Structure 1
Amino acid sequence: MATTGRRRTKGAGSIIQRADGRWEFRREIGRDPATGKRRYISAKGRTKADARERFDAKIAEMERTGLLPGAKSPYLKDYAERWLEEYRQNVKPTTYRSTAGRIKACMEVVGCVRLTDLTADHIRKCMRVLSKRLAPSTLKGHFVSLKMMLDQAELEELIPIDPCRRVKPPRVEPAETRILSPDQPKKLIEAVPKRGAKRRGSQPAGDVDESWMLLFELAFAAGMREGERYALMPYELERRDGVPGINVCQQIQEYGKPGEVEIPGWLKAEHLYGILWLTTPKTRTAHRFVPISESLWERLHTRIDRLGIKPRDLIFTNSRGNPVRSSTERYNWNKALKAAELPSVTIHSARHWTASMTARANMPDDARTAIMGHTSISMTNHYTHRDTASLAKLLGQAIPDLHDDTDVIDVQVIDEAA
């Protein structure tokens, strides 16, 4: 290749004619504030003018989104657009979808403010506006997402400090999760055949009832998440040291239809049906072995053998052979609760019930987090609810009797008026 023209000044870039006759304009644009590595930008064209025009367009786009310092700071909405594209590559589609929705809602309020002009008052105004239509817990999620984005802007040296650091996060009073008492899950499961739910498809009523009874039992007995139960396959049923259990190594998630959702290259995900994908567990610790009873083990295998379910087929499907949906399970769950005359609780409360029962049995903390698939005991404790009976028993064991009924104190009452 050959260069043309006289030597350019330092930082002005270089124009090069390549061996194929095309022209390339290339320039170093400084070091990346986040990584310290040198950054280059280049553009090619059939002529010098084409190469330069494309180069200038790239520079303008980088200045607009904040990748390159320009005459003016980028608008917050333009920076958010670029940040979300980068963020998409590092998180699961469900995480991206929720974060993108929060950021876009914030941009409707403060998106037209330039990054360097953004102040704590802008953040407070954003939270005030959004609070009129959002629940406190949802509003806090918006604040956390906005702060995460502005933390990155600070790291890139586009702003001196994230203004969210000067704002108190929205206050959230934690909602109490109601769970069933120790003996009530059995009543719920036994009420499944009596629930009177409408049947669809050609599946025998016995198979349908059995599937919901097993799914509900897995929720309580194994503490499995909804997506983990829906994704259960025969090969996950293992015996380790003679102990029957489930090697929880996958889940079903609603990512979106192929072509409409971008799956990051690092994420292992296989499309199943519609918007449903078979993917890895929620976290590394969610990949775990959960022991189950011999009875549950045998009933699962009886179902597998009777229906001829192959090792890599789903154990639980709907009448069309497609994966179970959370809305369908929720419908049958509520019907069973009503049939058993039990209080209204969510399906996810079954995991809270499992965590609470392990605490009631005085299971060590490391064992409890392992069963639940949590990353820390603090999260498991968040799922734990102590009932009155277990608290009274523990307190009775801890506090000695402070009053001895055998000691009788005689009290003489003196009538001063006598």
Structure 2
Amino acid sequence: MPTTRRTKGAGSVFQDKHGIWHFRRDIGPDPVTGRRRTVEAKSKNKALARQRYEEKVAEYQRTGVLPGAKSPRVADYAERWLADYRTRVKPNTYTTRAGRIKACCEVIGSIRLDQLTPEHIRLTMRTLGARLAPSTLKDHYVSLKMMLDQAELDGLIPIDPCRKVRPPRVEQTKTRILDPDQPRKLIEAVPAIGHTEHRPSDTDDDTETWTLLFEIAFMTGLRPGERRALMPYQLETRRGIHGINVCQQIQRYGTPDRAIIPKWLDATHLWGALWLTTPKTAAGRRFVPLPDGLWQRLHDRIRRLHIGDHDLVFTTHLGRPVSDSNERRHFKAALAAAGLPDVKLYSARHWTATMTALADMPDDARIAIMGHTDPAMTRRYTHRDIVSIAGLMAQAIPDIASDVIEAEIIDEDA
């Protein structure tokens, strides 16, 4: 019997030694990694194997993995792009990006990729801009561009139309921070928060929790999740210097039945939607020195409450991790009790960056303390006041007219 060859690109069909039918097709190398990709379906029943294969091919054509009769719609491609993106980023990063992409798809999701134009991008920005803050809108633009850049690499469009559209304009707003002497007043006001109609009075342990958490926030610049994740084993002494080995943080990833944790991410469930995981970036792993007084107060608490080496130093009266909303509420109450400006809790991190700058700490040391990857970010966290700027100006530029002799004016008509 003569052998017939399948047309090029149709794939192969064969039955292995175990009687399993295979329908397989090579779909070319991955445009990013260069690795070979195939689509395959198998079953003991040849007809079922063919059906599964055809369903996979149809799905790949719908989302743009395989070329089809029509270009995939933006929403369909977004579905595949997000599924891949999810495997490479942390859960919170994915959740934010997915929300941005889905909002864009509400405007242009039904349009086919090869019909997408710069005007569609502008329409999306105008539509979303009617209800979003400028900074949030720009992040939607960045998210859409990330996806369409990949579509360009996949060969589904000749060029990302976002390249022909200017991103939304954003004016940076300055974060308000406390004056150098005001954090002390805030911490001294914590015991005076007292009873409110919405919650019972804090116990002495509760008051100590908030006092120490706020003190750590201003004295170290730790991120909120980093300080709430503090455990006794992280308190180290290196070459006679007391400090915190910042190696973990608490993040809200969702309940175990709903959270999807990538295999590469080290994350342990704590309670509810809270997880113990690694720092934000590799630069987030750092050693931050502590003043001797704060070091001693932390150890006094650990001994008094018999906190184990790998137990949280700060918990609620129910033994649960401190939540962001709970800490923020107490911070606002302490500000009010101390009569201080209403600043954000995260501004404590900006205060630390600013105080280290005012102390003329070298930039590389400041970056190491803050745990930033980009030096520009540390600069954004630094807010010099007019007194500091005036002092620096006086040192750099002396009064050039201070030694000028006043000329005597002679009246010749006298």
Deviation at 1:336, TM superposition (A): 0.5
For residue 34 of structure 1, report the CA deviation from its aligned partner: 2.7
Deviation at 1:390, TM superposition (A): 1.2
CA apart distance, 1:414: 6.0
Distance 1:408 1:12 in 2: 96
Cα distance in 1 for residues equivalent to 2:412 and 2:189: 67
**Which amino acid in structure 1 is aligned with residue 38 of structure 2?**
Y
Q: Deviations over 1:20-78 (max 9, x none)?
A: 22211112223333333332221112322211111111111000000011111000000
TM-score, normalization by structure 2: 0.96
The answer to whether the Cα contact below 8 Å between 1:15 and 1:48 also exists between their aligned partners in 2 is no
Name the residue aligned to 2:366: 368
1:95 to 93, 96, 107: 93
Matches within 5 A, 1:115-194: 115-194=113-192
Letter in 2 for 1:189: I
1:296 pairs with one of 294, 297, 302:
294
1:196 offset after TM fit, Å?
2.3
Whether contact under 8 Å (2:85, 2:94) holds in the other structure is: yes
Q: Which runs of 5+ in 1 are unaligned?
A: none
Which among 409, 412, 415 is matched to residue 410 of structure 2? 412
Q: Secondary structure at the match of 1:285?
A: helix
Deviation at 1:10, TM superposition (A): 3.5
What corresponds to 1:49 in structure 2? 47
Q: Is residue 254 of structure 2 the alignment partner of residue 256 of structure 1?
A: yes
Q: CA deviation at 1:389?
A: 1.3
CA deviation vs aligned residue, 1:313-362 (integer Å, no higher than 9, x gap): 00000110000011111111111101111011000000100000111011
1:233-255 CA-to-partner distances (Å, cap 9, x unmatched) read: 00000001100000010000000
What residue identity is the alignment partner of 2:180?
P
**CA deviation vs aligned residue, 1:138-188 (integer Å, no higher than 9, x gap):** 101100000000011111111111000000000111111100010000000
**CA distance, structure 2, for counterparts of residue 191 and residue 220 of structure 1:** 15
Question: 2: distance between equivalents of 1:200 and 1:294?
Answer: 37
Distance 1:23 1:402, change over 3 A: same
Letter in 1 for 2:210: W
For 1:27 and 1:89, locate their aligned partners in 2 and report how far apart those are by CA, in whole Å: 24
What is the rounded CA distance, in whole Å, between the counterparts of 2:10 and 2:203 in structure 1? Answer: 76
Aligned-pair CA distance for 1:407: 3.0
Secondary structure at 2:283 match in 1: coil
Residues of 2 paired with 1:405 and 1:14: CA distance?
Answer: 93
Quickly say closer, same or farther: Cα 1:140–1:413, change in 2 above 3 A.
Answer: farther
Secondary structure of 1:191's counterpart equals helix
2:209 to 201, 208, 211: 211
SS at match of 2:82: helix
**Shift of residue 413, structure 1, vs aligned partner:** 4.6
Cα deviation 1:265-322 (Å, max 9, x = unaligned): 0000000000000000000001100001000000000000001001000000011000
Instruction: Note the aligned Cα RMSD (angstroms).
Output: 1.9
Contact 1:201/1:320 (8 A) holds in 2 = no
CA distance in 1, matches of 2:412, 2:62: 94
- Report SS of the residue matched to 2:326: helix
Contact kept? 1:45, 1:51, Cα under 8 Å: yes
In the alignment, the residues of structure 1 paired with residue 32 and residue 234 of structure 2 have an alpha-carbon distance, to the nearest angstrom, of 42
Distance 2:127 2:36 in 1: 41
Judge which range, 327-336 or 18-27, deviates more: 18-27
Partner residue, 1:317: 315
Separation in structure 2 between the aligned mates of residue 400 and residue 227 of structure 1, nearest angstrom: 46
Q: 1:170 to 1:204 in 2, by over 3 A?
A: closer
Q: Secondary structure at the match of 2:287?
A: strand
Deviation at 1:200, TM superposition (A): 9.5
**Corresponding pairs, count:** 413
CA distance in 2, matches of 1:170, 1:406: 52
Query: Identity of aligned pairs, percent?
Result: 61
Contact 1:200–1:319 under 8 Å retained in 2 = no
| 4+ residue runs over 6 A deviation | 199-204
Partners of 2:331 and 2:182 in 1: CA distance: 13
Structure 1 equivalent of residue 29 of structure 2 = 31
